[in-house]
Amino acid sequence: MTRVLVTGGNGGLGHELVPRLVAAGYTTRILSRFASKLDTQSSPLLEWTQADMAAGTGIAEAVREVDVIVNAASNTRGSGPAVDVEGTRRLLELSVKVGVSHFLHVSITGIDQIPTFPYYKLKLAAEDVVKQGHVPYSILRASMFHSLIDLFLQMFARVPLVLLMPSDFQVQPMDTGEAADAIVRQIGAAPAGMLPDITGPQVLNAGDAAKLWQQARGMHRPIVRLPLPFEWANGFRQGRQVSQNKVGKITWADWLQRTYGAPNHAPLTQKVTP
């Protein structure tokens, strides 16, 4: 029976992916620093192992008797390359020793088009580590998830009275569950190197996405454009991270309705302050 190790199994993607893997009949082992948020007693196919990708502790035990690894672990909170780059390197080195047959690395669309963005630099470096490793691999780039856009907007809303944000950025959000479905399908296939990107069904101006978000939440703040004078910001404005392989079907409005219970979405008429 195929055993799949999911790094970052407690994260947003892992939360959607792990139950799908179990439903598909895979013995699924969650790697995380803290106890699994899922009930590991709910299925004999579900396992949890404690490990720290940054420190390197517990990884040898985590990869034991594993056939496939889905590397979805990442750290966006300023830890530098400890998780995304060095953690991936350690994981690959130990994967060779136990004979892992497929290393499926989850990445982000457009990171090679906006390489000056600090986090994207790390993601590119992690991809290079995977390519230079000695384990058969697939790299799957996905666009930002709806939940991440929602989190960003919550952060922008902390400013009193207005929604101060880079409203001229282009976004192409995807449902996390649909990304998880794509990963499950890929696990049943052979390692294929760089895979086609997977993205959401529509490209939105961030300001328009914010209008819908406010409507869903019953908010009525003016949207004020936050000017970011960086080269990488120009990349997001120009939509360099946008991809044409629109695998997802769930739109931003669909996700908002499901998440916030909004009965409908009024036409986008709110003026964006330049």
Side-chain-side CA neighbours of residue 209 (13 Å): 29
Tokens of 180: 């998880």
User: What's the predicted TM-score (pTM) here?
Assistant: 0.92
Report domain 3-144+175-194's class. alpha beta
The average pLDDT across 213-226 equals: 94
Q: What are the pLDDT digits (tens) for 174-210?
A: 999 999 999 999 998 999 999 999 999 999 999 999 9
pLDDT for the residue 263? 54
Predicted local confidence at residue 272, as pLDDT = 36
Strand 170-171 and strand 204-205: the pairing is: antiparallel
Q: What is the CA 152 to chain-centroid distance, rounded?
A: 14
Question: Smallest Cα–Cα separation from 8: which of 80, 88, 81?
Answer: 88
pLDDT digits (tens, 9 = 90+) for 96-151: 999 999 999 999 999 999 999 999 999 999 999 999 999 999 999 999 999 999 99
pLDDT tens profile 49-95:
999 999 999 999 999 999 999 999 998 776 578 999 999 999 999 99
